[in-house]
């Protein structure tokens, strides 16, 4: 911001006094968009089963992932007090472009292997994907040689993420106390934030205890997850809702609710 102010004073004269204000407005807008997009990443990861179920909780009326938004805000505030600001920006930007690299590689795998996708998905020419991939790879590789002390920590965090995946996500069975903790935290978040957890098909059973009574709750809850033609189409679940409207069936759309929460809803009704 300071450099922008000096440049504006030299080129714009008295109008330069408004530049810091305009930059502040742009920063607030960028912060708002990044906050909500970042929370959607956390929500999607929880919905896939890569994070605790509580982060997949969405409000039943607005479909907003309230728990993920609060967690993202808390993490952003906490991280802002750690270390140098320039180094923090370096960590974030390295992770940002590394994420783009993995996303583009996954997109290329989908295109070359002809993996089925949503019929309304936007398709772009392959040369655009390869060009953007080359740019993102350069933005990831160049900082490694220019600022290795900054990127080394970011790489270490990514490696820790891989380790966490193979320890907590990849196994089919986890310790019982983790299931209990997952269920209780989801219940508390559902009550406090007035929301319900939402997991993809096949993920809910992996987070329930192996008892028959708990497994029987999945189809019971799924049967009530239907949408009418009057329902709105928020961004969060557009794919699933389009499927429901075309097929008139809830196949492929499940909501996972812990045992205690289902009992609570039943008692209230």
Contact 247, 256 (CB under 8 A): no
Longest dimension (CA), the chain: 74
Q: Which helix (H) or strand (E) holds 185?
A: helix 176-192
Predicted pLDDT of residue 137: 94
Predicted pLDDT of residue 204: 56
Q: Which two tokens stand for residue 88?
A: 């923090």
Q: How many residues does the chain have?
A: 269
- Locate the DSSP E strands across 175-233: 195-196
Predicted pLDDT of residue 266: 42
3-state helix, strand, coil in the chain (%, to 5): 70, 0, 30
Predicted pLDDT of residue 86: 77
Predicted pLDDT of residue 221: 40
Q: What is the pLDDT along the chain (269 residues), one digit of tens a residue?
A: 566 667 767 777 777 777 778 888 888 888 778 777 878 888 988 888 888 889 998 988 888 898 999 998 888 888 878 767 777 888 888 888 888 998 899 999 999 998 888 888 888 899 999 999 999 999 999 988 888 887 888 888 888 988 988 888 888 788 888 888 988 998 999 889 888 888 877 665 555 544 443 444 343 344 333 333 334 434 444 444 444 444 444 333 333 444 444 444 444 34
| Domain ranges for the chain | 1-44, 70-171, 176-268
- Locate the DSSP E strands across 38-116: 58-59
Predicted pLDDT of residue 3: 66
| The model scores a pTM over 0.75 | no
């Amino acid at each position: 911001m300071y450099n922008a102010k000096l440049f504006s004073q030299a080129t714009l004269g008295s109008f330069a006094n408004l530049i810091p204000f305009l930059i502040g407005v742009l920063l607030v807008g960028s912060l708002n968009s990044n906050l909500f997009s970042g929370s959607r990443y956390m929500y999607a990861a929880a919905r896939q089963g890569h994070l605790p179920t509580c982060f997949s909780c969405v409000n039943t009326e607005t479909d907003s992932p309230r728990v993920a938004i609060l967690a993202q805000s808390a993490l952003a505030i906490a991280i802002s007090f750690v270390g140098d600001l320039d180094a923090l920006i370096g960590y974030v930007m390295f992770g940002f472009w590394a994420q783009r690299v993995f996303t583009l590689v996954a997109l290329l795998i989908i295109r070359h292997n002809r993996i089925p996708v949503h019929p309304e998905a936007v398709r772009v020419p392959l040369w655009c994907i390869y060009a953007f991939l080359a740019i993102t790879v350069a933005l990831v590789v160049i900082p490694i040689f220019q600022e290795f002390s900054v990127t080394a920590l970011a790489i270490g965090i990514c490696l820790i993420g891989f380790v966490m995946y193979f320890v907590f996500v990849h196994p089919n069975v986890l310790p019982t106390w983790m299931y209990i903790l997952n269920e209780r935290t989801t219940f508390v978040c559902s009550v406090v934030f007035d929301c319900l957890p939402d997991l993809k098909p096949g993920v809910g059973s992996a987070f329930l205890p192996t008892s028959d009574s708990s497994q029987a709750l999945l189809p019971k809850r799924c049967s009530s997850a239907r949408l009418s033609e009057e329902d709105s189409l928020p961004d969060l679940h557009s794919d699933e809702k389009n499927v429901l409207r075309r097929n008139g069936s809830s196949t492929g759309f499940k909501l996972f609710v812990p045992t205690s929460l289902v009992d609570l809803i039943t008692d209230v009704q």
